[in-house]
Amino acid sequence: MISACRAAGVLASLGLAMVLPPVAAAASAPDWLKQLQALPLPPHDDQTNAVQLLDETEVTFLPDGTQRRLERSAFRILRREGQEYGVATAHYDKDGKVLRMKGWSLPAQGKPFEVDMKDSVETALVPGTEGALITSARMKVMAIPASTPGNVVGYEIESLSRPAIVGEKWAPQFGLPVAQARLTVKLPPGWNIRTKWFNGNAVEPVAIAPGTWRWELKDLSAIKGEAHMPDISMLARHMVLAIDAPSENLSSFRDWNQMGRWFTRLVDSRSEVTPELSGLVASRIQGKANLLDRIRALSESVQKDVRYVHVVLDATGYQPRAPGDVLKTGYGDCKDKANTLRLMLEQIGVRSQLVLVNTNRGIVRADGVPAPIFNHAVIAIRLPPDVPESARSALSLISDGEERLLLFDPTDDSTPFGRVGEHLRAGELLLVDGEGARLVHAPGGRPADNGVDRKVTMRLATDGSLSGEVRESWRGVWAGYEREKAAAASHNQDLKRPVEQRLAGAIGNYRIDSASVQNSDAIDKPVEWLYSFTARDYAKVAGDLLMVRPRVLGTKSSSFLDTGEARVHAVAFDATNLDSDVMRVEIPPGYVVESLPEAVNLDIGFAAYHSRTRMEGRTLVYERSFEQKELDLPLERTQALRDLYAAIDRDERSMAVLKKN
């Protein structure tokens, strides 16, 4: 794939401006680019950094499966931040080749500038593969001079590729307004196309020659970025194009079964059971008579003992390495680890299947086109029938017809066996077996699986100062985040930093007296934070009154909806959660309660909040819970969530009034 937008930041990281040779003024820019200078700009706002005047792609499919691609792009730079669009990138792998790159800048005054492929830099720092230990992906990066506000920049890139999986996704609507977008596809005789449009009406192509079709779109608006919005693929207008060739090997997948059989062939060729694998299985299950315990032991062995690395090689990254190599080297990527575990489970008579996942929820759709749109692989384990229902109810299961399967991600070292991370919730997963594949839906998970339970015990002095202890128990996905914070700490002083973040937004003039963490390495247990602090002037002294906020720390409100502008997208969260707080503040001698905040009980379906404040002897007790029960909230219901957050904010600021006897 070739684009300028994906190159953002690449120029600086490579120091490209320093290594490019001097650029001479060109005699002339191509006519197609000069004609765009007078083109009216598509609708945009004052904060738009650049607009795309042209996004044109021409793909020629050759009879042997090779694709010849010509891409033209042009931008008018509007603001200084838009200079990143003056960087052209050409992506290719070991089976591809960049034939030509040429770029131009048309200043408002003076002659155009020109660069070509000799002015580019080649790198393996390809977006999306930055963390790969091994990769065949490569990229040429070419900076176009004078990419400054008011100027038009454009480029042409011609390349050859031989993709392992045939098909085309046309998605011209990304982060910028687009004036013109064109896709031209040329097929050999006897080849045909199938198309499916998403997030907009279908556009019929124009047949411009035998076997040649063209699609055109104009004045595409930018997708406005908002906090907690759905993935852009759920919003942007795009088309998936499938190819039917005389040979199945040169055709797109017709259904998920066909893709499953293709993937199975890749996996089977790398599925030899070695003596090392058999020996490892025997050692890990020794002394474990219960079959579920054996499954757990093998799963945790691959999870903990095989280091995760990113490997991008062969068949666009879908073919795993041989398990013997994985065990010998001690590392593997997601498909390596999942396939190794599958073969280990076979040795104890347990069937399992590989599962292909896209970790961006919403990318894989039940109404979509079968295509290699997955970026992760996990495993689904068929539990033995003697596992009691009480044990099954505590596991993260998916349904395959009448059978329930246990999902497990061997690469996720912060989630225990039996649970799954948020990337495996509420989405479509591709379950692969020897017969093919089928989509199954992963449930959204239970709110109680994630969250924090906080217990605060404080003492209030007559001068308004507050001191005491806090115990927090973090569960599920939330616990994973806390483990990352704990892992970054090298000594006790560092442990105070996460505590500072909790206190800073709620309390002023504080001093952290102690901080410790428990179970940071025990992923099957909640992470426990224990800390104590002292805060001066917490309560406001007014004559014989003390005004104290019962909600000492922690916030359940959010301001992400309060931007001052109308919301345009639905709300999408990564996980549900259930939080609870019990905060106890011992009031000073000689004071009694004058007034307490009113209780709050709100439930909008998507989320619910309950709180109450009461006296228990000499102790002010504040109890509350917040439950987010759903992941997605339609746009028309966002006002209800905004109102809920506002009510929570009022409750969190409310005061109890104490009076001297």
- Given this model, what pLDDT does residue 384 score? 85
- Given this model, what pLDDT does residue 69 score? 96
Nearest to 285 by CA among 294, 277, 276: 294
Is the same domain home to 22 and 98? Answer: yes
- Label residue 15 exposed, middle or buried (CB < 10 Å: 0-12, 13-18, 19+): exposed
- Given this model, what pLDDT does residue 10 score? 42
**E strands within 442-526?**
451-460, 466-475, 510-518
- Given this model, what pLDDT does residue 9 score? 43
- Given this model, what pLDDT does residue 593 score? 96
Dihedral sign for Cα atoms in the order 243, 244, 246, 252: positive
Range of weakest confidence among 63-77, 393-407, 562-576, 599-613: 393-407
Per the listing, tokens 């998403």 go with 198
Does 11 have pLDDT greater than 60?
no
Q: 638 with 561: CB under 8 angstroms?
A: yes
How far is the C-alpha of 389 from the C-alpha of 408, rounded, in Å? 19
- Given this model, what pLDDT does residue 213 score? 97
- Given this model, what pLDDT does residue 326 score? 95
Beta strand 591-595 with 577-586 is: unpaired
Q: 6 with 87: CB under 8 angstroms?
A: no
Is the same domain home to 455 and 539? Answer: yes
- Given this model, what pLDDT does residue 7 score? 39
Range of weakest confidence among 17-31, 73-87, 645-659: 17-31
Does 24 have pLDDT greater than 80?
no
CATH number reported for the structural domain that contains residue 363 in this entry: 3.10.620.30
Is the same domain home to 483 and 582? Answer: yes
Does 569 have pLDDT greater than 50?
yes
Is the same domain home to 636 and 496? Answer: yes
Does 96 have pLDDT greater than 80?
yes
Per the listing, tokens 């048309």 go with 106
Please state the rounded mean pLDDT for residues 137-166.
92
Q: 184 with 58: CB under 8 angstroms?
A: yes
> Please, what is the Cα angle at 409 between 407 and 414, to 5 degrees?
120
Please state the rounded mean pLDDT for residues 577-593.
97
| Helices 476-487/492-504 angle, 10° precision | 130
Share of the chain above pLDDT 70, in %: 93
- What pTM was computed for the model? 0.87
Average pLDDT of the chain to the nearest whole number: 90
Q: Which of these three, 195, 228, 250, is where a domain ends?
A: 250
- Given this model, what pLDDT does residue 130 score? 45
Q: 565 with 225: CB under 8 angstroms?
A: no
How far is the C-alpha of 179 from the C-alpha of 57, rounded, in Å? 15
**DSSP summary character for residue 199:** S
Range of weakest confidence among 219-223, 385-389, 584-588: 385-389
Which residues fall within 8 angstroms of residue 183, CB to CB, at 6 or more apart? 56, 57, 58, 59, 168, 170, 172, 214, 215, 239
- Given this model, what pLDDT does residue 4 score? 36
> Please, what is the Cα angle at 629 between 627 and 523, to 5 degrees?
75
Domain total for the chain?
3
- Given this model, what pLDDT does residue 372 score? 82
Is the same domain home to 236 and 267? Answer: no
Does 161 have pLDDT greater than 50?
yes
Q: What would the pLDDT profile of 230-263 be if each residue is shown by its tens digit?
A: 999 899 999 999 999 999 889 999 999 999 999 9
CATH number reported for the structural domain that contains residue 462 in this entry: 2.60.120.1130
- Given this model, what pLDDT does residue 394 score? 75
Is the same domain home to 188 and 291? Answer: no
- Given this model, what pLDDT does residue 490 score? 64
Q: 14 with 121: CB under 8 angstroms?
A: yes
Does 581 have pLDDT greater than 70?
yes
Q: What would the pLDDT profile of 452-495 be if each residue is shown by its tens digit?
A: 999 999 999 999 999 999 999 999 989 988 988 888 876 666 88
Q: Which of these three, 250, 281, 299, is where a domain ends?
A: 250
- Given this model, what pLDDT does residue 424 score? 85
Does 618 have pLDDT greater than 90?
yes
> Please, what is the Cα angle at 379 between 378 and 382, to 5 degrees?
160
- Given this model, what pLDDT does residue 174 score? 77
- Given this model, what pLDDT does residue 491 score? 61
Is the same domain home to 83 and 189? Answer: yes
- Given this model, what pLDDT does residue 455 score? 98
Is the same domain home to 147 and 222? Answer: yes
DSSP 27-70: S---HHHHGGGGSPPPS--TT--EEEEEEEEEEEE-TTS-EEEE
Q: Which of these three, 219, 250, 281, is where a domain ends?
A: 250
Half-sphere exposure of residue 557, counting CA atoms within 13 Å on the CB side? 18
How far is the C-alpha of 414 from the C-alpha of 178, rounded, in Å? 42
Range of the domain at 518: 448-660
Is the same domain home to 409 and 432? Answer: yes
Is the same domain home to 243 and 262? Answer: no
Please state the rounded mean pLDDT for residues 543-571.
96
Q: How confident is the model at residue 141 (pLDDT cuts 50, 70, 90)?
A: very high
Q: How confident is the model at residue 624 (pLDDT cuts 50, 70, 90)?
A: very high
Is the same domain home to 364 and 512? Answer: no
Please state the rounded mean pLDDT for residues 41-49.
92
CATH number reported for the structural domain that contains residue 245 in this entry: 2.60.40.3140
Q: How confident is the model at residue 282 (pLDDT cuts 50, 70, 90)?
A: very high
Half-sphere exposure of residue 47, counting CA atoms within 13 Å on the CB side? 4
- Given this model, what pLDDT does residue 492 score? 60
Q: What would the pLDDT profile of 423-461 be if each residue is shown by its tens digit?
A: 888 889 999 988 889 999 988 888 999 999 999 999 999
- Given this model, what pLDDT does residue 505 score? 82
Q: What is the H or E stretch that residue 594 is in?
A: strand 591-595
Centre a 10 Å sphere on the Cβ of residue 492 and count the other Cβ atoms it contains: 11
DSSP 424-458: GSSSEEEEEETTEEEEEEPP---GGGSEEEEEEEE
3-state secondary structure of 277: helix
Is the same domain home to 130 and 210? Answer: yes
- Given this model, what pLDDT does residue 28 score? 81
Q: What would the pLDDT profile of 369-410 be if each residue is shown by its tens digit?
A: 898 889 899 999 999 888 888 788 778 888 888 888 999 999
Which residues fall within 8 angstroms of residue 22, CB to CB, at 6 or more apart? none
Range of weakest confidence among 376-385, 584-593, 610-619, 650-659: 376-385
- Given this model, what pLDDT does residue 227 score? 96
Q: 108 with 123: CB under 8 angstroms?
A: no
Q: 420 with 409: CB under 8 angstroms?
A: yes
